């Protein structure tokens, strides 16, 4: 019994971490209808960037390149354009972009302390998110969802290549200062081993999820976002700036990826295999539905727990390692019974 509880709790806690990655998918899917396969690559990129910055600071050539691009963008933001009546010089945007460009030059080659590295990574991830929205998704708007999906597979390759081009491919450890030991009082009181790291990770994930839920429900942008999710055309008609919303969502997805990357990276080491962890979010989404934050959480818990239990109780019978596919099979079987997901509504194609 104790053992069962231990496995169950461990599974649930790692399930929370799956939920965290799944959340990134849900955010983007809700706002733009894109199933972003590259969420895993974002997680990898975020974790690797933080570690890399802590180890040896920003790499010269790429930072230089980014700075040049940012300066160019800043320039175009204020350059008066011919013909464009409404386009006034946007000094604020130029200042932000220029500021980031100049600041980035100062961190080249200097190992950064943890929190500074995290902050820099956050700015970088937001940039990546916004750039993705601009360069990848905007030209593909109005294409069938499956085309967008394949484009994000392309994006996955690009980001994985970029991450390793910037930081190399070695496995690295990441210490975020949370010990990975059994929690003493649970040990003494109930004789159950639960890692403090898992608990803290789950806590952080829970806070993030709560924050996002608040953001969606209470802020003006969040409400606009939900309107967009419900009906793009209508949202445009009432004057919600779709493009700005999309950029915000991609930035938020970048942020979620950063948190997930730090937690997973600290847990399993920062390495290419992180992208596979992120793939686990897919069955989570199938269970929970692509559009529901609650679904992502519940789905994550179910997948996490059932996967661990299966590994422990069924695994030995078939030679172990079933974690690699068990989640998918659970999701598949589930789909056969309820194709609309746990929280989705059944709908019949209109003709």
Ligand X SMILES: Nc1ncnc2c1ncn2[C@@H]1O[C@H](COP(=O)(O)OP(=O)(O)OP(=O)(O)O)[C@@H](O)[C@H]1O
317 binds ligand X (CB under 6 A): no
346 binds ligand X (CB under 6 A): no
Cα torsion for 254, 209, 225, 262, to the nearest 10°? 0
351 binds another protein (CB under 8 A): yes
Number of residues engaging ligand X in binding (CB under 6 A): 2
Residue 299 C-beta: closest distance to another protein, Å:
12
Cα–Cα distance, 286 to 111 (Å, whole number): 41
Centre a 10 Å sphere on the Cβ of residue 197 and count the other Cβ atoms it contains.
18
Enumerate residues 22-61 that contact another protein by CB under 8 A: 35
Residue 10 C-beta: closest distance to another protein, Å:
22
Q: What is the SS3 assignment for 171? A: coil
* 335 binding partner (options ligand X, another protein, none; Cβ < 5 to 8 Å by kind): another protein
348 binds ligand X (CB under 6 A): yes
- Kindly indicate which of the ranges 6-14, 98-106, 184-192, 330-338 contains the residues binding another protein, using the contact rule CB under 8 A: 330-338
177 or 233: CB nearest ligand X: 233
Number of residues engaging another protein in binding (CB under 8 A): 48
Cα–Cα distance, 72 to 120 (Å, whole number): 20
Phi, psi of 205 (to 5 degrees): -60, -40
Enumerate residues 304-323 that contact another protein by CB under 8 A: 318-322
2 binds another protein (CB under 8 A): no
- Kindly indicate which of the ranges 81-89, 93-101, 247-255, 283-291 contains the residues binding another protein, using the contact rule CB under 8 A: 283-291
Q: Which two tokens stand for residue 209?
A: 């999820």
Q: Which of 190, 136, 179 is nearest to 159 (CA)?
A: 136
Residue 345 C-beta: closest distance to ligand X, Å:
11
Angle of helix 114-132 relative to helix 242-268, nearest 10 degrees, comes to 140
343 binds another protein (CB under 8 A): no
Instruction: Give residue for tokens 């608040």.
Output: 214
Residue 133 C-beta: closest distance to another protein, Å:
13
Residue 28 C-beta: closest distance to another protein, Å:
13
| 8 Å CB contact between 294 and 195 | no
Task: Indicate which single residue of 7, 96, 150, 227 sits in contact with another protein (rule: CB under 8 A).
Answer: 150
For 197-247, the DSSP string reads: HHHHHHHHHHHHHHHHHHHHHHSHHHHHHHHHHH-HHHHHHTT--HHHHHH
| 8 Å CB contact between 63 and 104 | yes
143 binds another protein (CB under 8 A): yes
User: Which DSSP letter does residue 81 get?
Assistant: P
Contact footprint for ligand X (CB under 6 A): 348, 350
Contact footprint for another protein (CB under 8 A): 35, 135-136, 139-140, 143, 145-147, 149-151, 153-162, 164-165, 168-169, 279, 282-283, 285-286, 318-322, 324-325, 328-329, 331-332, 335-336, 339, 348-349, 351
């Amino acid at each position: 019994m104790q053992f069962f509880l231990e496995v169950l709790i461990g599974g649930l806690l790692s399930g929370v971490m799956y939920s965290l990655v799944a959340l990134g998918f849900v955010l983007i899917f809700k706002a733009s209808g894109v199933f972003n396969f590259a969420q895993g690559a974002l997680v990898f990129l975020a974790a690797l960037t933080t570690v890399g910055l802590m180890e040896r600071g920003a790499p010269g050539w790429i930072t230089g390149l980014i700075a040049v691009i940012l300066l160019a963008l800043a320039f175009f933001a204020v350059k008066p354009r011919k013909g464009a009546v409404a386009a006034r010089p946007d000094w604020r945007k130029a200042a932000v972009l220029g500021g980031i460009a100049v600041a980035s030059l100062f961190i080249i080659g200097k190992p950064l302390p943890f929190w500074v590295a995290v902050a820099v990574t956050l700015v970088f991830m937001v940039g990546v998110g916004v750039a993705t929205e601009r360069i990848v998704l905007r030209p593909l708007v109005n294409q069938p969802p499956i085309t967008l999906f394949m484009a994000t597979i392309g994006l996955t390759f690009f980001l994985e290549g970029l991450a390793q081009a910037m930081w190399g491919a070695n496995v690295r450890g990441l210490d975020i200062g949370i010990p990975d030991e059994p929690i003493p009082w649970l040990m003494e009181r109930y004789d159950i081993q639960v890692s403090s790291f898992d608990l803290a990770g789950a806590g952080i994930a829970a806070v993030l999820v709560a924050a996002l839920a608040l953001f969606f429900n209470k802020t003006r942008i969040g409400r606009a976002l939900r309107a967009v999710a419900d009906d793009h055309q209508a949202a445009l008609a009432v004057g919600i700036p779709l493009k700005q919303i999309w950029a915000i969502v991609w930035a938020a997805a970048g942020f979620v990826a950063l948190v997930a990357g730090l937690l997973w990276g600290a847990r399993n080491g920062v390495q290419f295999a992180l992208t596979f962890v992120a793939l686990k979010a897919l069955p989570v989404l199938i269970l929970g539905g692509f559009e529901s934050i609650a679904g992502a959480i519940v789905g994550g818990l179910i997948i996490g727990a059932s996967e661990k239990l299966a590994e422990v109780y069924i695994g030995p019978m078939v030679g172990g390692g079933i974690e690699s596919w068990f989640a998918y099979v659970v999701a598949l079987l589930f789909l056969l019974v309820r194709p609309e997901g746990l929280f989705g509504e059944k709908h019949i194609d209109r003709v």
